[in-house]
A and B are shown apart, each in its own frame.
Chain A
Amino acid sequence: MYGLKPDILVDLPEKYFCLTDYEKVAAKWCPGCGDYAVLGNIQKLCRDEQLDPAKTVFVSGIGCSSRFPHYMKTYGFHGLHGRAFPVASGIKWRRPDLHVFVITGDGDCCAIGAGSWIHAIRFNIDLTVMLFNNEIYGLTKNQTSPTSRMGTVSNTTPRGSVLPPINPMQTTLGVGNVSFVAQTVDWNPPHLYATIQAAHRHKGFSFVHIIQRCPKFQSDLVEQFTAGKDKLYLLTGNEGVELDDVVIKSFDHTVEHDAHNINAARSLAEDPDNIYLGVLYRNTKAQRYDEYGVHNIGYTVEQKMEALNSELNKYAV
């Protein structure tokens, strides 16, 4: 029917996973929080990619955004503030069969977890990483974060913050062995979806910076973000994300970009005036630490016994 060859039906997976196979309890974020959009799109992506829920792990730190794993009917690890990267790396290193996602916030990643963030980029383990950047500490109720703009009024900087922010894109692109860097926004679902999909399909540490609305503590920004369309540039080019024409047309500006060109990517990331959405950089040749991690898995007990005995021989009296 409809021109499909009948043998295609034979390739249908044994069990087809539906959206409900990924949906757990209703999320408890504030009304209007950008996190909802990401959750919905991730569930859709899991369904579309037919990721076996039993083989999928969502790892997070602590924060509003880091509650994410609790809303997925997959395996999850809601660990410590700032420490999602080492945990996720330890999960994936010797388990190539698992799909591992990392959910982190701007405080979680760029403040307390900054050390591990830098090293995770360098390790380049096959993880799909989503940084939920609402430019504020949400869970602990309105403290300035390292990504808050200068002048941000919060509970810890009532007279306005005094330092310019860390730029997560710039930082990530500055680390040796960087493999995949993309940027999207929570209020453009098709772009969000396509970007996360591209990240998931990339083999290596795929870093997606999600500009995320926090109507509770950054309500001024919500306006700026969604209304300020003239600052948003859609990246086009053959290494970008796959989008429908309708979506492309919804942007006022587009820019041709070669995602293999790290210098071009860096200058886009450093542009103080405009925000570029899509894949800024991808390098499929970056060294992958998880490839090293799996080079000797699956030894039998007998092999291990033999290795131990030959080691003991060297110390024999």
Chain B
Amino acid sequence: MSTSTSPEKSTVKEEIVPSLPGEHIVEIVSDSGEGAQKCGQSFAAISAKMGNGVWTVEIIPAEIHPPSRTIESASGIRIRFGSTKVTNMGDEAELMVALNEQVPYARILQKAYKEGTIMLLENKWATDQSEHIKTQYATALKDFEARGYKVIEIPMEVECLKIIKSARKGKNMWVLGMLCYIYDRNLDIAKNQIRHTFRTKPEAVIESNLLLLQGGYDWAADNLDFQYPIKPMELKEEMVVMNGNEAVGMGILAAGIEVCSMYPITPATSTSHFLAECIENSGGLIHQAEDEIAAIGFAIGSSYAGKTAVTITSGPGLALKNEFIGLAAMGEVPLVIVDVQRGGPSTGLPTKVEQGDLLAVLYGQPGDTPVITMAASTIEECFHFIILARKIAESFRTPVVVLTDANLATGQQPFPRPKVCKEWFSPPIDQSPWKQGVDPYEWDEATGLSRRPIPGQPNGMYTLTGLAHSKEGKPSYDPENNQRTTAYRSKKLATFKNTLKPPEIHGDKEGDLLIVGWGSTLGAIDEAVDRVRAEGGSVSSLHLRFLSPLEPGLKEIFSCFKKVMTIEINYSDDVSDPVINNDNRRYSQLAWVLRAKTLVDIDCYSNVEGQPLSPRKIVRKLQQELEQLKA
């Protein structure tokens, strides 16, 4: 099947903003199964270890083994790295490596490249036995040149076969060697990385991968006439590098959580892979339940019995967990729920990013179900927010939802090594006698807070129920009781809100335009705002970490700007559509919440293309908005 598409003739030629000096964006794309991701992850880790700022985005096909040499088969990774901290995926790539000429089209659809992008292309297809493939290759080559890419054909297969018998497994490490030459990577670090990557494999495998690395490096040194050394930063503190799912897993260890109950779902699952390797050394276990309902039920059982548990899922799983989230809120059971958001609704885009679950978390349950909700916006926050969430869950006797997304889940970024401290870890279960005369829901009038007895505590016996109940925990159909106890549960959010500070503003505290974001878009929004501000644009941004309750002071902050707009990765109706008007427009999820909360006429800009937002896209929108505000 030919997947070539001709360059869009009609569209205005995109203006090329040169990347910030001292950084590059590299992509590696291959057929699924050729190891492009392993190559890129290793490259990112090597760069981070050398002291570069790094951000990675994985390109993941939806199927395990799609037909090769097709758009569907494209599997790979983007690495943006530089001499300063990198917080997002950036705009178009400067350089890309492709193991066949078809897979780049998956990325061309996403506008991942620009005029001048260097394309290092496996050339074995030029002489393939199949006439069809040969033609495809020749056609694509012409097309790439027409698009302005600088194509360099490289005999990857031929070179690899000089080192190993079959090139399919191994070419990725040869490519890594080539990239190490181009970007002047420290080869000792690279070799150690290979040893780490293949640590569970026999020595012979490690040896041949080391030879491939060296082979790629040497070939590049002999045959390429360019090099882009990207200088590292001066690291003042110890750093670690990992992806968001690993950071969540690390956070679970750091919170002292002993039970992680889950059901496999992309893109959340790799957290449990990480934990499966190490949580037992930390006195904890993973429970793989029969479905998401049972997973959260099991976690709630564990929490009820004194060991606050975590359950990890993504959108479809969250939908199944809702009834139990309601029970946890009603029965006041501490619980941490991690939702690694993906494209929805339904099965949607399982491997792609979306911030589409916010309203489902806030309002997905029947009745009044106050749930404390927070969203991590960096990999580092993925770690620290789990520790925080466990503490909040226990102090406020409530479920806490931590939102991350597919972008954070697989993106790698270095951050300062957490300084492990005792206070993060949950204390041992309290089994001292419960104070006689104290009820299991002795709600404090002012705060709605109460302490909970834990099975095993003498005198504390009570029955937790999802029915409306009195402070003794007895089912109660009394109208006044239900009004009052619902208010107590709600009041806990007000109490929690009192502990929060107003969000910091990136840029001036007043001006024309304020952008509000949440989650993984932080880096891209801030970078775009910085670029526009550098041109003199009056724009600022703020990024929310707490979504329920919202951080305080928003209305006051908003009143200092002519216009407030959220930028999100989820759906909103486009006002330029003739059918859409202010009356029937459906807004982005955070915009809905903020409009309701602040009564400010907040606009939104969002899409559901399943991609992280590029700063370029945001810059254009900001420029457009500022223009309109002037008019």
Contacts and interface: CB of A to CB of B under 8 A. Distances in A.
Interface stretch (B118-126, B155-163, B200-208, B294-302): B294-302
A98 B456 contact: yes
B324 to A, nearest CB: 6
B287 interface: yes
A90 B306 CA distance: 11
A142 interface: no
A8 to B, nearest CB: 26
A303 B425 CA distance: 11
Majority secondary structure of chain A interface residues (helix, strand, loop or mixed): helix
Contacts of B284: 296
Contacts of A305: 420, 422, 425
A70 interface: yes
Interface string B310-329: 00000000000001100100
Majority secondary structure of chain B interface residues (helix, strand, loop or mixed): mixed
A116 interface: yes
Contacts of A88: 301
B455 A95 contact: yes
Contacts of B242: 315
A174 B241 CA distance: 49
B49 interface: yes
Interface residues of A, number: 57
A77 B304 contact: yes
Nearest to B414: A317
A308 B283 contact: no
B254 interface: yes
Interface stretch (A34-42, A79-87, A280-288): A79-87
Given A53-B461, A79-B466, A86-B293, A94 B324 contact: no
B285 interface: yes
Among the interface residues A77, A118, A308, A317, which one has the most CB atoms of the partner chain B within 10 A?
A: A317
A293 B142 CA distance: 61
A143 to B, nearest CB: 20
Interface stretch (B100-108, B144-152, B274-282): B274-282
A132 B227 CA distance: 75
A116 B278 contact: no
B301 A73 contact: no
B475 A70 contact: yes
B301 A316 contact: no
A90 B299 contact: yes
Contact of A301 (B285, B417, B425, B458): B425
Given A83-B294, A307-B282, A95 B422 contact: no
A60 to B, nearest CB: 9
A70 B463 contact: yes
Count class of interface residues, chain B: 35 or more
A317 B49 contact: yes
Contact of B283 (A86, A115, A297, A312): A297
A55 interface: yes
Interface stretch (B256-264, B526-534, B598-606): B256-264
B585 interface: no
A26 to B, nearest CB: 13
Contacts of A316: 238-240, 417
Among the interface residues B331, B422, B464, which one has the most CB atoms of the partner chain A within 10 A?
A: B464
A97 B462 CA distance: 18
B366 to A, nearest CB: 12
A90 B259 contact: yes
Contacts of B240: 312, 315-317
B328 to A, nearest CB: 10
Contacts of A98: 305, 455-456
A138 B511 CA distance: 64
Contacts, number: 195
B283 A304 contact: yes
B291 interface: yes
A309 interface: yes
Contacts of A89: 298, 301
A76 B293 contact: no
Nearest to B294: A86
A11 interface: no
Contacts of B238: 316-317
Nearest to A69: B463
Nearest to B427: A301
A295 B285 CA distance: 10
B474 interface: yes
Interface in B476-531: none
B477 to A, nearest CB: 12
A51 to B, nearest CB: 12
Given A80-B323, A94-B307, A95-B305, A315 B246 contact: yes
A42 to B, nearest CB: 14
A311 B278 contact: yes
Given A115-B294, A316-B238, A94 B278 contact: no
B456 A55 contact: yes
Given A90-B309, A98-B305, A75 B253 contact: no
A91 B305 contact: yes
Nearest to B285: A293
Interface of B: 48-49, 51, 196, 235, 238-242, 246, 250, 253-254, 256, 258-259, 261, 278, 280-285, 287, 289-291, 293-295, 297-307, 309, 323-324, 327, 331, 414, 417-418, 420, 422, 425, 427, 453, 455-467, 474-475
27 contacts: A54-B456, A55-B455, A55-B456, A57-B305, A59-B301, A76-B464, A78-B465, A78-B466, A80-B297, A80-B466, A83-B294, A90-B303, A90-B305, A94-B302, A95-B455, A119-B289, A293-B285, A298-B283, A299-B282, A304-B425, A307-B281, A311-B250, A311-B253, A312-B418, A312-B420, A315-B246, A317-B240
Q: Which 7 A-B pairs have the closest CB atoms?
A: A90-B301, A299-B283, A76-B463, A86-B297, A90-B298, A307-B282, A317-B239
Interface of A: 25, 53-55, 57-59, 62, 69-70, 72-80, 83, 85-95, 97-98, 115-116, 118-119, 292-293, 296-299, 301, 303-305, 307-312, 314-317
Given A90-B287, A303-B283, 15 more contacts: A69-B465, A70-B463, A70-B474, A75-B455, A76-B461, A78-B463, A79-B466, A87-B297, A90-B305, A91-B305, A95-B456, A116-B290, A311-B253, A315-B241, A316-B417
